[in-house]
């Protein structure tokens, strides 16, 4: 049987982490009556993700870096994620974390859980000595504004024609990414988007569900790629 090559791309906040850590940070370190309207505007497509983060970072300044770091390490990951990482390693499935959040907290949480080696693409920020949060968006693409870190580009840059692409996500920032993948595991807002756009997906509760379905897909004698995703990727490859 042909050995299938899967590339796995997963969201972080609310997918790997139990809570949306980015939102939790700003709700904890800024005034909630300022934070909630900004997040609402983002979810209703009134502002871009980049503009959302710029506003939230300004509302949270000045911030105590020690308090921030202590808060971050209290955040938990989904308890089936470690087994999922081992599953990917065992099957030589390359795993990428694509987040519209910030590597500042993602890397600290992953390190706490023993996963320093994972591929992470995310936005960045630094906390200055005066407590100002300075966000940086190294992967921003003005053509794909639902995420300040263009997940679509990470998928295109890290996959090829021979790969079966898999996306796992739950939120608003995952919409563009999902359209370019063959197999989509969706919940919450991403699930609603897939239903609205008639994009085939697998509902999931946790990574144990993903392992079960990927094992089934891997063992199929014949596996079809999602046609619309394949067309979108080929067009994107030609444009690169």
Above 80 in pLDDT, residue 238? no
Pairing of strands 133-136, 119-127: antiparallel
Q: Is residue 56 part of a domain?
A: no
* Three-state DSSP class for residue 29: helix
Q: Is residue 203 part of a domain?
A: yes
Residue 234 pLDDT class (50, 70, 90 cuts): confident
Q: Is residue 30 part of a domain?
A: no
Which pTM value belongs to this model? Answer: 0.95
Q: Is residue 95 part of a domain?
A: yes
Q: Is residue 34 part of a domain?
A: no
Structural domain count, the chain? 1
Q: What is the mean pLDDT of the chain?
A: 94
Q: Is residue 12 part of a domain?
A: yes
Above 90 in pLDDT, residue 1? no
Find where tokens 């600290």 sit.
108
Above 90 in pLDDT, residue 206? yes
Could you write out the DSSP letters of every residue in 59-88? HT-S--HHHHHHHHTTPPBPTTHHHHHHHH
CATH number for 208 = 3.40.50.1000
pLDDT of res. 240: 63
Q: Is residue 168 part of a domain?
A: yes
The DSSP element (H or E) to which 164 belongs, if any, is: strand 164-169
Q: Is residue 222 part of a domain?
A: yes
Residue 95 pLDDT class (50, 70, 90 cuts): very high
Confirm if 150 and 141 have CB atoms less than 8 A apart: yes
pLDDT of res. 32: 87
CA distance 34 to 47: 15
- The whole-number average pLDDT for the span 165-173 is 95
Domain range enclosing 96 = 6-21+74-239
pLDDT of res. 220: 92
- The whole-number average pLDDT for the span 65-84 is 97
Question: 121-153: per-residue pLDDT in tens?
Answer: 999 999 999 999 999 999 999 988 889 999 999
Cβ neighbours of residue 92 under 8 Å, at least 6 residues apart? none
pLDDT of res. 139: 96
Question: 2-17: per-residue pLDDT in tens?
Answer: 678 999 999 999 999 9
Above 80 in pLDDT, residue 80? yes
* Three-state DSSP class for residue 138: coil
Confirm if 177 and 151 have CB atoms less than 8 A apart: yes
């Amino acid at each position: 049987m042909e050995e299938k090559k899967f590339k796995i791309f997963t969201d972080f906040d609310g997918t790997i982490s139990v809570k949306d850590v980015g939102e939790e940070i700003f709700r904890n370190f800024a005034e909630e009556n300022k934070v909630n309207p900004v997040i609402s505007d983002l979810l209703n497509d009134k502002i871009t993700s980049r503009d959302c983060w710029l506003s939230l970072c300004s509302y949270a300044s000045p911030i105590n870096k020690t308090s921030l770091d202590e808060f971050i390490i209290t955040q938990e990951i989904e308890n089936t994620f470690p087994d999922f990482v081992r599953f990917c390693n065992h099957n030589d499935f390359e795993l990428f974390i694509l987040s519209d959040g910030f590597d500042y907290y993602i890397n600290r949480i992953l390190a706490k859980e023993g996963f320093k080696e994972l591929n992470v693409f995310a936005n960045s920020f630094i906390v200055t000595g005066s407590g100002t949060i300075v966000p940086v968006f190294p992967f921003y693409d003005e053509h794909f504004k639902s995420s300040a870190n263009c997940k679509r580009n990470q998928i295109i840059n890290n996959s090829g024609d021979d790969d079966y692409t898999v996306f796992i996500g739950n939120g608003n920032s995952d919409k563009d990414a999902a359209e370019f993948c063959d197999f989509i595991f969706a919940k919450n807002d991403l699930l609603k988007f897939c239903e609205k756009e008639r994009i085939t997906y697998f509902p999931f509760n946790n990574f144990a569900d993903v392992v079960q379905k990927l094992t089934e897909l891997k063992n199929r004698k014949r596996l079809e790629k999602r046609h619309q995703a394949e067309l979108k990727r080929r067009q994107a490859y030609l444009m690169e």
